[in-house]
Amino acid sequence: MNEMKAFVSPDMDVPGKVWSLRDYWFILMNHRGVMVATTLSALFLAGVLALTQKPIYRATALLEVRPERLNIGEQLYERLGYYDPLETFLSTQMGIARSPAVAQGVLDRLGSDKVIQYLGLEKPNGRSWSREALLNAMVERVVTIRPSRDTFLLELGVEAPSPEASAALTNAWAEAWVESDRNAEAEVNQPVVQALTQEIVRLQKSIREKETRLAQLVQTAQIRVLDEQVNVLKERMDRMSDAISQAQAEVTDKRARLRLVQMAPPEALPEIRNSVHIQGLRKACMDIGQEYTEKKSVFKSDWPGLRQLATKRDEACRRYQQEVEALYQAMLRQAQTELEAAQSKEQQLRQQFEAVQAEIERLNQATTDYQTLKAELENERRFLETLTQRRQEAIIRREGTLPVNAMLRIVAPAQPPPAPIRPHRLRIMVTALLIGLGGGIGLAFLLHFLDDRIRSHEDIRSIAPYPFLTFIPDREKEGKNGEDIIANAFKTLREFIFMNQKSTLLAQSLLVTSASPDEGKTFVAIHLALSLARAQKRVLLIEADLYKGPIARILRVPRRPGLIDLLLDSENLYAPNDFPQVNEYLTVVPHGVSDRSSWPRPERLDLQGVLARFATAFDYIIIDALPVLSMAEAVQLVSQVDGVLLVVRSDSTTRSVLRTAVELLEKVHAPVTGVVLNRVNLKSRYSYYRYYHSYYQYYSRYQVQTG
């Protein structure tokens, strides 16, 4: 029995479902058909796309870029506006390669018809290509240029439908680019000569001015004497720094002395306490006071001598206090004066130190100006030599006596490529596979969360506030061992009913219903009755579903007498033995006559009298009722029985239907014993209950035979 309870409700105390990776895996596997269909569709479309695209080839030529015009000096080209970093320079050259001027050179070499043939261009709207449109098509659609990392090499490629056409176009484009660069180099020589001449004149003027300033600075500043003066001043600064440190220490001492005089009592100061004069006055005050005290104890207070002695005492003590205060004020003034003097000395030393420091900075600045001016003069002289040499080379090139040194050179001409660059069939198929798989996974989760059907007892718990009793396997899915497995499942349900049985001699009535038709309530009612009969319990199975009535056909018993006859029996003519029996423990009351005209009216469908008549003859009365949401008779019957079993079909009953049925049962205060999940597929590898399939197979071999 304990094993059975642990099996039926392994997590009865769990308030909510905790999702795990296995749950997500089950969702995907339950919708694996959708995933496979989505993935195959994506692969099919990608395959069609890859097969219908025309292959495109791209041959590559390698060119060397030699930015020699930049070598004449960064300063010049910064001023002329020609200087760029290497990355910008290469980008400029790639922009030139894509220009219509280079494309025009390709057309001049190959001809328009050849270019159109190589590119596989179709006539626009049946008309021939104009030269401008053809140039734009060449530049926008086919040219690819990539710089080689950390080198002066550029890769030039032209795309075409055939490898030979791509190689021919690439080589023609490279030659046109090199020729364009040579022409541009020749054309730029004239403005370069002019710019170089202007810069040389400016540099010569600047050199003369700097030489004059340098000579003046040497004469006026006496550069050689400056270093000696700086050394003398530095030694003086060191001495002054030591003096400032001593002055700071003296100021600290004087400030501490003043604070001591201000904070200490006057009598505690050594100068006052050790003064002979102050000590004499203090002794006189104390002696007279002691004498006054002695005589006061002998004479009366009105004795003249005692009054004279008191006056003398007061005069001596007042004189003592006055002398102490005068000496304290003198000491205080002296401490303040000494502190002010020490501070003034420190301030004077600091001013002298700052003056020396400023003089050293002035001398250093003069030396720095001299060295800076000298370095600038040397740089401009070297730069002038470089400019003079470059101007001479530019003049020779302009006159045609020296070959033009172009910036571009073809290193390796293009060869026909062995394979096309697109379409990338493998990449397309892999991308389609990933997209299809991702879309299938997303669609699977979407279908799962849009699916409103009940799949497990956790779904039931989230809606129905009733105990979950057990689940019944799907007989059609179980095959040849289905009957034994189902018998074992109903034995589990029977044990729950035994545990909930009321201690009474009367039969316990149990109504079996469902939310909607075709959920298996009749199946549950019949097999529950058979299971109770196997336990040697006297069972009465009443078919209260008057509209279908399949029990007589299933159990192969006569249809009459039935429930209709029993309800119309006002004289109590029918006894328990008058109804068909399946075996000695199971008696069946079919629904009776099929003529609906003889049926009692719904409001007269009262089973309480029938239950009372057979209460002592049976242990259990199982009633197969109508679905609660289909007919009003089912709702009327739930209040006439001891308990209600609500049957829910797995993967069929929706949450909304079950929720409506529960609300209806709650409204009429139905005594619901629990919920049974019917037709659970235990064989599915991706079902919540698949782990219990082996349990049923193992225990059904032994428990059904002893049930």
What percent of the chain is helix, strand and coil (3-state, nearest 5)? 65, 10, 25
Strands 153-160 and 143-147: antiparallel
Kindly list the structural domains of the chain, giving each domain's residue range(s) and its CATH number in brackets, ordered by start.
Answer: 19-53+423-450 (no CATH), 223-399 (1.10.287), 467-706 (3.40.50.300)
Question: In the beta sheet, which residues pair with residue 53?
Answer: none
Q: Please state, as a whole number, how many other Cβ atoms lie within 10 Å of the Cβ of residue 536.
A: 10
Q: For 360-364, 417-421, 657-661, 671-675, which range has the lowest pLDDT when averaged over its residues?
A: 360-364
Strands 57-65 and 408-412: antiparallel
Listed residue (389, 408, 386) closest to 185, CA to CA: 408
Could you give the percent of the chain with pLDDT greater than 70?
Answer: 79
Q: For 257-271, 347-361, 559-573, 681-695, which range has the lowest pLDDT when averaged over its residues?
A: 681-695
Mean model confidence pLDDT for the chain: 77
Q: How far is CA 475 from the centre of its chain?
A: 48
Tens-place pLDDT, residues 14-39: 345 566 787 788 778 878 888 899 99
Quick one: average pLDDT of 556-576?
A: 77
By the 8 A CB rule, do 118 and 160 touch?
Answer: yes
Look at residue 128 in the predicted model and tell me its pLDDT: 77
- Model confidence, pTM: 0.49
Listed residue (559, 207, 607) closest to 379, CA to CA: 207
Look at residue 8 in the predicted model and tell me its pLDDT: 36
Q: For 41-45, 367-371, 659-663, which range has the lowest pLDDT when averaged over its residues?
A: 367-371
Look at residue 230 in the predicted model and tell me its pLDDT: 64
Tens-place pLDDT, residues 111-125: 888 888 888 877 766
- pLDDT band for position 704 (cuts 50, 70, 90): very low
- Torsion sign, CA atoms 210, 213, 219, 224: negative
Q: For 41-55, 127-141, 153-167, which range has the lowest pLDDT when averaged over its residues?
A: 127-141
- pLDDT band for position 403 (cuts 50, 70, 90): very low
Look at residue 507 in the predicted model and tell me its pLDDT: 63
- 3-state SS assignment for residue 595: coil
Higher pLDDT, 676 or 615: 676
Tens-place pLDDT, residues 222-234: 555 555 666 777 7
- 3-state SS assignment for residue 646: strand
Look at residue 389 in the predicted model and tell me its pLDDT: 79
453 DSSP assignment: B
- pLDDT of 676 above 90: yes
Q: How far is CA 311 from the centre of its chain?
A: 97
Higher pLDDT, 635 or 55: 55
Quick one: average pLDDT of 148-173?
A: 85
- pLDDT band for position 5 (cuts 50, 70, 90): very low
Tens-place pLDDT, residues 468-489: 888 888 877 766 666 777 888 8
CA distances from 542 to 159, 231, 323 (A): 85, 126, 131
Higher pLDDT, 510 or 687: 510
Look at residue 159 in the predicted model and tell me its pLDDT: 86
Q: For 82-91, 258-267, 272-281, which range has the lowest pLDDT when averaged over its residues?
A: 82-91
CA distances from 345 to 246, 255, 333 (A): 10, 14, 18
By the 8 A CB rule, do 621 and 563 touch?
Answer: no
Most confident of 124-138, 426-440, 690-704: 426-440
C-alpha neighbours within 13 Å on the C-beta side of residue 79: 12
Look at residue 215 in the predicted model and tell me its pLDDT: 76
Tens-place pLDDT, residues 321-351: 888 888 888 888 888 888 888 888 888 888 8
Strands 468-473 and 672-680: parallel
Look at residue 506 in the predicted model and tell me its pLDDT: 63
Residues 6+ apart with CB under 8 A from 150: none
Angle between helices 112-119 and 163-221 (to 10 degrees): 110
Look at residue 13 in the predicted model and tell me its pLDDT: 38
Q: How far is CA 138 from the centre of its chain?
A: 45
By the 8 A CB rule, do 544 and 525 touch?
Answer: no
Q: How far apart are the first and last CA of the chain?
A: 12
What distance in Å separates the CA atoms of residue 630 and residue 125, rounded to the nearest whole number? 69
Q: Tell the residue number behind the tokens 């700071």, with chain if given.
A: 248
| Longest CA pairwise span in the chain (Å) | 153
Higher pLDDT, 593 or 304: 304
Residues 6+ apart with CB under 8 A from 375: none
- pLDDT of 707 above 50: no
By the 8 A CB rule, do 426 and 77 touch?
Answer: no
Quick one: average pLDDT of 651-671?
A: 89
Look at residue 188 in the predicted model and tell me its pLDDT: 60
CA distances from 260 to 252, 334, 343 (A): 12, 13, 18
Residues 6+ apart with CB under 8 A from 558: 552, 580, 590
Residues 6+ apart with CB under 8 A from 363: 226, 229, 230, 233
Quick one: average pLDDT of 36-50?
A: 89
3-class DSSP string for 93-150: HHHHHCCHHHHHHHHHHHCHHHHHHHHCCCCHHHCCCCHHHHHHHHHHHCEEEEECCC
Look at residue 427 in the predicted model and tell me its pLDDT: 87
Listed residue (597, 80, 254, 342) closest to 350, CA to CA: 342
Asked whether the bond before 561 is cis by omega within 30 degrees of 0, the reply is yes
C-alpha neighbours within 13 Å on the C-beta side of residue 42: 18
What distance in Å separates the CA atoms of residue 279 and residue 271, rounded to the nearest whole number? 11
- pLDDT band for position 588 (cuts 50, 70, 90): very high
Look at residue 646 in the predicted model and tell me its pLDDT: 93
Tens-place pLDDT, residues 58-72: 898 988 877 654 444
Look at residue 10 in the predicted model and tell me its pLDDT: 35
Q: For 225-239, 249-263, 595-609, 686-700, which range has the lowest pLDDT when averaged over its residues?
A: 686-700
Quick one: average pLDDT of 171-197?
A: 76
What distance in Å separates the CA atoms of residue 512 and residue 196, rounded to the nearest whole number? 109
Look at residue 318 in the predicted model and tell me its pLDDT: 87
What distance in Å separates the CA atoms of residue 265 and residue 280, rounded to the nearest whole number? 19
Look at residue 598 in the predicted model and tell me its pLDDT: 54
Question: In the beta sheet, which residues pair with residue 514?
Answer: 647
Look at residue 527 in the predicted model and tell me its pLDDT: 92
- pLDDT of 387 above 50: yes
